[in-house]
Structure 1
Amino acid sequence: MTIQTNEIIKVGIADLKFAKSPDVLRTSGLGSCVGVVVYDSSLNIAGMSHVMLPDSSLSKRSDLNELKYADTAIPFLVNQLLRDGARKFALKAKIAGGAQMFSFSSSNDMLRVGARNVEAVKQILTEYRIPIIAEDVHGNSGRTIEFNLETNMLKIRTVSQGETEI
């Protein structure tokens, strides 16, 4: 009898990774960043992106890290899943993060990075017609998330608030 173990695939900041069941995708350090999981539950395949910023057009760098921005990372994630056999109509998403980590007395929208990240992620998933099945966003605490490909559950550990599953 063989015992199948779940490998934990770590997704770094401004990174994305793909996995198949029984593996688990994990990313930590989600403050204002948003963790985006897109998956095809019947095929047990998923990808996770750790989105840092909403919009790549604001970058002045020529060596742009496409995985850092919602508007470039999510299309890459979706297209790779489709190349790996996922079916567009079956794709679903779960998201977490987008906290406001610091309080500002200014009403400057550029300082609301967490909220802008959540808005950008939701807009792009809507454009791709991928429903968000569950979310744990905003607040002011950091998070670590793990997506279990066997159960399609997203485990969220929130700093000083414990653990939940969505």
Structure 2
Amino acid sequence: MSQIIIGVGEYGVSNRPGDEIKTFALGSCVAVIFLDPRTGTLGMLHVALPESEINKTKSLDKPGYFADTGIPALLAEMARLGCSPQGQGMVVKLCGGANIMDTNEIFQIGKCNALSIKKLLWIYEMDVVAEDLGGTFSRSVSVSVETGEIILSSPGRPDWKL
């Protein structure tokens, strides 16, 4: 069994049953999780911002940083393992999108991230089957490639499943 750690703006995929994909400290960031039941492939993306227009250079170096470049990059990586490049048949789940430091709710980056992701998924005709979004606390997310089970954790809270 190996752990694949996903940092901010990164994504990873695996179809090895013993693997686990994990990301830490999702504040306003959102984890996008794709599971292809046909191939047993799991992918996770750690989105920091909704749109790459604000920094085209960064989107070229780290496409996973933005929703609009990260989702196509993750789908392309999963396609290399036999998944549909357009995401057909994928099970989609979302976690994160909290409002942690913006107490006056001026920027609402977490909400903007989640809405941008959902808009893009709608274009791909992909439905979100489960989500754990919002709130005022960060989350870490761990997903088993074998079972697809998602465990979330946050300081001072018991772990929970999505």
TM-score where L is the length of structure 2: 0.89
Deviation above 4 Å: which 4+ runs of structure 1? Answer: none
Asked whether the 8 Å contact 1:13–1:51 carries over to 2, the reply is yes
Question: Which structure 2 segments of 5+ residues have no match?
Answer: none
Question: Residue 76 of structure 1 aligns to which amino acid in structure 2?
Answer: A
Where do residues 146-161 of structure 1 align in structure 2 (5 Å cutoff)?
146-161=142-157
Inter-CA distance 117–161: structure 2 relative to 1 (3 Å threshold): same
| Pairs within 5 Å for 1:119-130 | 119-130=115-126
Q: How well do the aligned residues superpose, as a CA RMSD in angstroms? A: 1.5
Answer whether contact 2:144 2:150 (CA < 8 A) is retained: yes
Q: Secondary structure at the match of 1:119?
A: helix
TM-aligned CA deviation for residue 82 of structure 1 = 2.0
Give distance in 2, aligned partners of 1:9 and 1:113. Answer: 26
Classify the secondary structure of the residue corresponding to 1:29: strand
Deviation per CA, 1:73-107, whole angstroms, max 9, x where unpaired? 011111221232014432121110000002443x6
* Aligned twin of 1:85: 82
Paired AA for residue 96 in structure 2: G
In 2: Cα distance, 1:25 partner to 1:101 partner: 24
User: Could you tell me which amino acid in structure 2 is paired with residue 19 of structure 1?
Assistant: S
CA distance in 1, matches of 2:49, 2:11: 14
Q: Is the 8 A contact 1:54 1:120 kept in 2?
A: yes
Q: How far did 1:68 drift? A: 0.4
Normalising by structure 1, report the TM-score.
0.87
Structure-2 separation of matches of 1:63 and 1:152 = 31
Query: Match of 2:46?
Result: 50
Give the SS at the match of 2:159: strand
The structure with more radius of gyration: 1
Identical aligned pairs, as a percentage?
Answer: 27
**CA shift for structure 1 position 33:** 0.3
Aligned to 1:69: 66
Alignment of 1:1-166 (within 5 A): 6-20=1-15, 21-59=17-55, 62-64=57-59, 65-87=62-84, 88-105=87-104, 108=106, 111-166=107-162
SS across alignment from 2:117:
helix
Query: In 2, distance between residues paired with 1:159 and 1:143?
Result: 8
Aligned to 1:3: none
Report the residue type matching 1:99 in the other structure: A
Question: Shift of residue 161 of structure 1?
Answer: 2.3
